[in-house]
Amino acid sequence: MINADGSPREPYRKYYEWFKEQDPAYLSAKARDADDIFQKTGITFAVYGHEDATEKLIPFDLIPRIISGSEWRKLAQGIEQRVLALNAFLEDIYHKQEIIRAGRIPRELIDRNSAFLPQMIGMKPPGGVYTHIIGTDIVRTGEDQFYVLEDNARTPSGVSYMLEDRETMMQMFPELFHRIRVRPVENYPTRLRQSLDYLAPPGCKGKPRVAVMTPGIFNSAFFEHAFLADQMGAELVEGSDLRVINGKVCMRTTLGYEPIDVLYRRVDDDFLDPLSFRPDSALGVAGIMDVYRAGNITIANAPGTGISDDKAIYSYMPEIVEFYTGRKALLENVPTWRCSEPQSCKYVLDNLADLVVKEVHGSGGYGMLVGPTATRKEITEFAEKLKAKPANYIAQPTLALSTVPIMVKKGIAPRHVDLRPYVLVSDKVHIIPGGLTRVALKEGSLVVNSSQGGGTKDTWVLED
């Protein structure tokens, strides 16, 4: 927000003028009001493994993260290029596998990858879209330097927090939105519904029936599943509410079982169909993959998309983008060492104290080592895990992530952030102007995940 000489950065100028006029006691009271709003709305998330409480209030900071229109255009162009390349990659690896034959990525990276689903080979989803909803995690390291940290193409979460953060800010500070022209995000549920409707299966007649499939109330993101179903005017269902009848996936209603056309599933691939994947799954629908193969239902995101956000695949994204688009990637990857390669693994083991090491299938900030903040004991224990299964890990340098101000007891203080813009894909790519800014609330921390003590901010993209 503030330059080294004490002046506000241009995107923040109008906000900074307003902020200086405010009484700190007033802002502190507003912060408490925000907590009350989140509590009453029920905006919580589950923290697995905590005995004290399973439901936590996600921390929210009042100072928005502000991005100029020109900065956003640069980001949006890079995100769109990347999303189109990911979809083309999925189409290719489940069909002709030209990228493997061209030698751009090794075959074993696909064949030995647990996220690759042989059941999807030769399958073309309705409209040819595999990744209907994507959350691309982006970090900033300089004025004009952005990196993609990871691609979330399975079941990206957090969009409900983006929407509620904005609604809370508009409720508490309406005068700010008169003073500063901020691009809207609140039409996301409408856009999502339109996108899902557009990709209904060919046999769908009239308005498609859309359902959001949740693992149930004990899932960490259940609030979001219920919120999106409500906002879209869709049904919220669990696997036990669905069954296959006459070649259609049908939902239990008070009038009997009714067919559904589009299933926005928030259930992992392994649990989707006990006849095709894990036979012990109680979360899925027996036979849904047969209906899918027959073209009688759209599943968003398509089964098998998880391989495109695998962290080992991530390290090849520059090659993937260039192979399918014919252009260099507009948004760079973070430099990445593949621990499956002996020389890289040796380098990582020798430099664990300086690196961030992640599981290739990991998420939520779990199963990772942040070398600079780890103890000697943690590094030693992690080294043993890495030696035992090197192919399970990738490593990256510790980036000097950009900071934004948060409110603390003594005023404001800098904290590290990332950004997760949300992308909808149907006949075109639509990128929501903003996204979820996640902030590491602990001083010096680089881990922004809510499960690891992070919070959120409203993200403003300015109108030109």
Q: The CATH number of the domain where 350 resides is what?
A: 3.30.1490.270
Structure token digits, residue 164: 């509620």
Q: Are residues 204 and 64 in the same domain?
A: yes
By C-alpha distance, which of 326, 330, 298 is closest to 124?
298
> Would the pLDDT of 62 be above 90?
yes
Full-model pTM: 0.91
Q: What pLDDT, on a 0 to 100 scale, did the predictor assign at position 41?
A: 77
Q: What pLDDT, on a 0 to 100 scale, did the predictor assign at position 45?
A: 59
**Packed helices 159-172 and 188-198: angle between N→C axes, nearest 10 degrees:** 150
Q: Which of 397, 420, 449 is the last residue of a domain?
A: 397
pLDDT, tens digit, for every residue of 423-447?
A: 999 999 999 999 999 999 888 877 7
Asked, for residue 2, whether it belongs to a domain, the answer is no
> Would the pLDDT of 454 be above 90?
no
Asked, for residue 3, whether it belongs to a domain, the answer is no
Q: How many domains does the chain have?
A: 2
Q: Which of 370, 397, 424 is the last residue of a domain?
A: 397
Q: Are residues 150 and 29 in the same domain?
A: yes
Mean pLDDT of 91-101: 97
Q: What pLDDT, on a 0 to 100 scale, did the predictor assign at position 43?
A: 66
Determine the Cα angle at 235 with ends 253 and 187, to 5°. Answer: 160
454 contacts 440 by C-beta, under 8 angstroms: yes
By C-alpha distance, which of 218, 249, 219, 220 is closest to 235?
249
209 contacts 260 by C-beta, under 8 angstroms: yes
371 contacts 348 by C-beta, under 8 angstroms: no
Q: What pLDDT, on a 0 to 100 scale, did the predictor assign at position 155?
A: 85
Q: Are residues 41 and 190 in the same domain?
A: yes
Least confident residue range of 34-43, 107-116, 239-248: 34-43
Asked, for residue 352, whether it belongs to a domain, the answer is yes
The domain in which residue 223 lies consists of 13-332+400-461
Q: Are residues 347 and 327 in the same domain?
A: no
d(CA 202, CA 358): 41
pLDDT, tens digit, for every residue of 348-405?
A: 999 999 999 998 876 655 678 988 888 999 999 999 999 999 988 999 998 878 899 9
Average pLDDT, the chain: 91
> Would the pLDDT of 462 be above 90?
yes
Q: Are residues 236 and 140 in the same domain?
A: yes
> Would the pLDDT of 44 be above 80?
no
Q: What pLDDT, on a 0 to 100 scale, did the predictor assign at position 103?
A: 95
Q: What pLDDT, on a 0 to 100 scale, did the predictor assign at position 120?
A: 96
Distances in Å between the Cα of 8 and the Cα atoms of 2, 3, 13, 71, 341 are 4, 6, 5, 17, 46
Least confident residue range of 71-85, 144-158, 283-297: 144-158
pLDDT, tens digit, for every residue of 97-147?
A: 999 999 999 999 899 888 999 999 999 999 999 999 999 999 999 888 999
Q: Are residues 392 and 455 in the same domain?
A: no
Asked, for residue 120, whether it belongs to a domain, the answer is yes
Q: Are residues 300 and 379 in the same domain?
A: no
Q: What pLDDT, on a 0 to 100 scale, did the predictor assign at position 451?
A: 64
> Would the pLDDT of 411 be above 90?
no
